[in-house]
Amino acid sequence: MNAIVALCHFCELHGPRTLFCTEVLHSPLPQGAGSGDISGQNEQAEEEEGGIQMSSRIRSHSPAEGASADSSSPGPKKSDMCEASGEICGCRSLAGGHPGYVSHDKETSIKYVSHQHPNHPQLFSIVRQACVRSLSCEVCPGREGPIFFGDEQHGFVFSHTFFIKDSLARGFQRWYSIITIMMDRIYLINSWPFLLGKIRGIIDELQGKALKVFEAEQFGCPQRAQRMNTAFTPFLHQRNGNAARSLTSLTNDENLWACLHTSFAWLLKACGSRLTEKLLEGAPTEDTLVQMEKLADLKEESEGWDGSEEEEKPSSQPDVVEGQELSKSSPETSLVPDCNSWNVAHRRLSVFRSLRHMRQVLGASAFRMLAWHVLMGNQVIWKAQDVDLVQSAFDVLRTMLPIGCVRIIPYSEQYEEAYRCNFLGLGPHVQIPPHILASEFAVIVEVRAASRSSLYPTLFDDEQSLNKYEFLVTSGSPVAADRVGPTILNKIEAALTNQNLSVDVVDQCLVCLKEEWMNKVKVLFKFTKVDSRPKEDTQKLLSILGAAEEDNVKLLKFWMTGLSKTYKSHLMSTVRSPTSSECRN
């Protein structure tokens, strides 16, 4: 995660100051750190924790710290000392020549570097400004707790202010804050719960250690009574070296900064790995929404079956679920689709591999008639002995329709009405009602054993299974050869006849065409079903959409049944709101 975590302190002498910060480096160490790296190679103390290797190394100071170019000698500078006690000032963490901390993440080749200030001047300015704001104007009620602030120029900040007990401080406590700075506002806001919990844990640990020291000091030498005796002495005149105690003194932990470095480095690594970015190319498609709804329905149904006992025998009629293949009606044959469902890829290789392959098998005119009925929502009936062939045909034909428009009974021993399925597989001896045979809303594909004179020519080596069949496509309303047909059908045929396009490219063309026409369906649904516009306006809309022809209108009305419940309910809840009605009027 590209962020900086810093511990800040409000010093009574100098105001808000940065005590300790950890930053992420995706490249080799800065120029100043490189020189110090060489001098500290012999004294590296390396540890490993959670895949991160930590070492203590010398780093040069930022220009803001006032360090000279030759200030690489270990030990604190005079400017870092408290005037009275000779100890390191409370608004400093590491002495002038003290080694910084560097942790190496072996998995990502990222370095986590900790020191009092960032080495880069621009980062130093950003951290400095965030520190001042977190301990002055950007404070939550009670002065202790989390808050968010920032802008695009100086970055966004998650700040958590807190108090540390100090028996020698004014009010017996000192004011600190831990801040997390990054430029990605959305990422930082999404990380709020994680950062709040982990930073709160660090603060609790610091406060617990300081409280033990405070209680021990109060037990040995109570400061409240002593201050009451000197109440009339100005407080500023009482200041001595103890008035600016360091955090290591307050917590009695000499390894405090190494522990904070480990905690801050882990926080940056964990916060960066818990959220991942995904490239979304727009809103979810209708097919995706319908699939999610079907999965939710199936899950709810399965949970209902788990909690109840079977009291009735299963119905003799085959079940139908939109967009899914289900079993036959007879118990003996119901196992066939389930077994074959594990072999869908094999069926496609051995029978129909694609729409282009089916067009070659059936012939151009027969395929156009079949595809026209599929797109219009008419019932498509396949009569064949080979169950795999029927299911393979439905697998291919369904790719022309939205998932919500697909209702399949892959194989049945009796005719099923069109309202139950628009794809129906029947055995060769099943009788079809006469009114269906003569209906213009149904197409029948009969698969017969081919005579020797009408054998289907084998185009590929793996088409031996089709070579023994002949296919007869009939309908009560044959599609005339000169009929224009729906626009999408003409574009599909153009893609199938273009030999320069591979099967994969044709599949992507189908996806694009379906999305294009589903968008037109959405517009028409909102215009007619939700807004209830008059027919004259609807005709104008269809002309604008390029779908004024009769076949295109029928297609849009059928595809409207494939819209997801999510989309429909969303329109009903938003468009019919009072605000929307007022705007429309």
What pLDDT, on a 0 to 100 scale, did the predictor assign at position 279? 65
Q: Are 62 and 118 in contact (CB under 8 A)?
A: yes
Give which of 263, 33, 4, 30 is closest to 130, Cα–Cα.
4
Helices (H), 135-284: 185-190, 192-220, 223-229, 247-251, 256-274
Percent of the chain clearing pLDDT 70 (strictly above): 70
Q: Are 523 and 540 in contact (CB under 8 A)?
A: no
Q: Are 273 and 107 in contact (CB under 8 A)?
A: no
What pLDDT, on a 0 to 100 scale, did the predictor assign at position 5? 94
The mean pLDDT value for 516-538 works out to 87
396: pLDDT strictly greater than 60: yes
Q: Are 395 and 355 in contact (CB under 8 A)?
A: no
First to last CA, the chain: 50
Q: What SS3 class is residue 69?
A: coil
139-153, 232-246, 443-457: least confident range: 232-246
- Burial status of residue 564 (CB atoms within 10 A of its CB: 0-12, 13-18, 19 or more): buried
Which own/partner contact pairs does 135-140 have at CB distance under 8 Å and 24+ positions apart? 135/8, 135/9, 135/10, 135/16, 135/161, 135/175, 135/177, 136/16
Which is it for strands 408-412 and 423-426: parallel, antiparallel or unpaired?
parallel
Q: Across the chain, which distance is largest between two alpha carbons, in Å?
A: 122
417: pLDDT strictly greater than 90: yes
Helix axis angle for 535-545 and 550-559, nearest 10°, is 100
CA angle at residue 584 from 580 to 585, to 5 degrees?
A: 120
* Bridge partners of residue 9, in order along the sequence: 17, 176
Distances (CA, A) of 26 to 104, 105, 111, 124, 185: 11, 10, 7, 18, 21
**pLDDT tens digits, one per residue of 202-225:** 999 999 998 998 888 877 666 655
pTM of the model: 0.49
What pLDDT, on a 0 to 100 scale, did the predictor assign at position 171? 77
pLDDT band at 517 (very low <50, low <70, confident <90, very high): very high
Q: Which CATH architecture fits 505-576? A: Orthogonal Bundle (1.10)
- The whole-angstrom separation of Cα 466 and Cα 361 is 8
- The whole-angstrom separation of Cα 150 and Cα 148 is 7
**Between 154 and 230, residue with greater pLDDT:** 154
505: pLDDT strictly greater than 80: yes
**pLDDT tens digits, one per residue of 437-494:** 999 899 999 998 877 545 455 554 455 567 778 899 998 877 655 677 899 999 999 9
State how far Cα 350 lies from the chain centre: 38
- Burial status of residue 27 (CB atoms within 10 A of its CB: 0-12, 13-18, 19 or more): exposed
Q: Quote the tokens at residue 472.
A: 């007869």
pLDDT band at 182 (very low <50, low <70, confident <90, very high): very high
- The whole-angstrom separation of Cα 407 and Cα 326 is 10
Domain residue spans in the chain?
Answer: 3-27+94-273, 355-450+466-483, 505-576
**In 37-153, at which residue ranges do the beta strands (DSSP E only) sit?**
47-49, 52-57, 100-105, 110-115, 145-151
What pLDDT, on a 0 to 100 scale, did the predictor assign at position 308? 56
Helix, strand counts (H, E) of the chain:
20, 14
Q: Quote the tokens at residue 474.
A: 């009939």
Q: What SS3 class is residue 237?
A: helix
In this structure, the number of other CB atoms found within 10 A of the CB of residue 224 comes to 9
Give which of 388, 432, 429, 391 is closest to 410, Cα–Cα.
391
88: pLDDT strictly greater than 90: no
Cα-Cα-Cα-Cα dihedral of 198, 203, 204, 209, to 10°?
Answer: 140
Amino acid at 229: N
Residues sharing a CB contact under 8 Å with residue 151, sequence separation 6 or more, in sequence order: none
- The whole-angstrom separation of Cα 266 and Cα 211 is 25
Q: Are 410 and 321 in contact (CB under 8 A)?
A: no
Q: What SS3 class is residue 428?
A: coil
Residues sharing a CB contact under 8 Å with residue 496, sequence separation 6 or more, in sequence order: 355, 356, 359, 506
What pLDDT, on a 0 to 100 scale, did the predictor assign at position 339? 36
Residues in the chain, overall count: 585
| 130: enclosing H helix or E strand | helix 121-134
51: which DSSP letter? Answer: T
Q: Are 21 and 114 in contact (CB under 8 A)?
A: yes
The mean pLDDT value for 98-110 works out to 83
- 355-450+466-483: in CATH 3.10.20.30: no
* Bridge partners of residue 112, in order along the sequence: 24, 103
33: pLDDT strictly greater than 50: no
Q: What SS3 class is residue 8?
A: strand
What average pLDDT does the structure give for the chain? Answer: 76
* Bridge partners of residue 163, in order along the sequence: 175
Q: How many CA within 13 A on the CB side of residue 73? A: 6
**Between 543 and 339, residue with greater pLDDT:** 543
- The whole-angstrom separation of Cα 400 and Cα 378 is 13
- Burial status of residue 426 (CB atoms within 10 A of its CB: 0-12, 13-18, 19 or more): buried
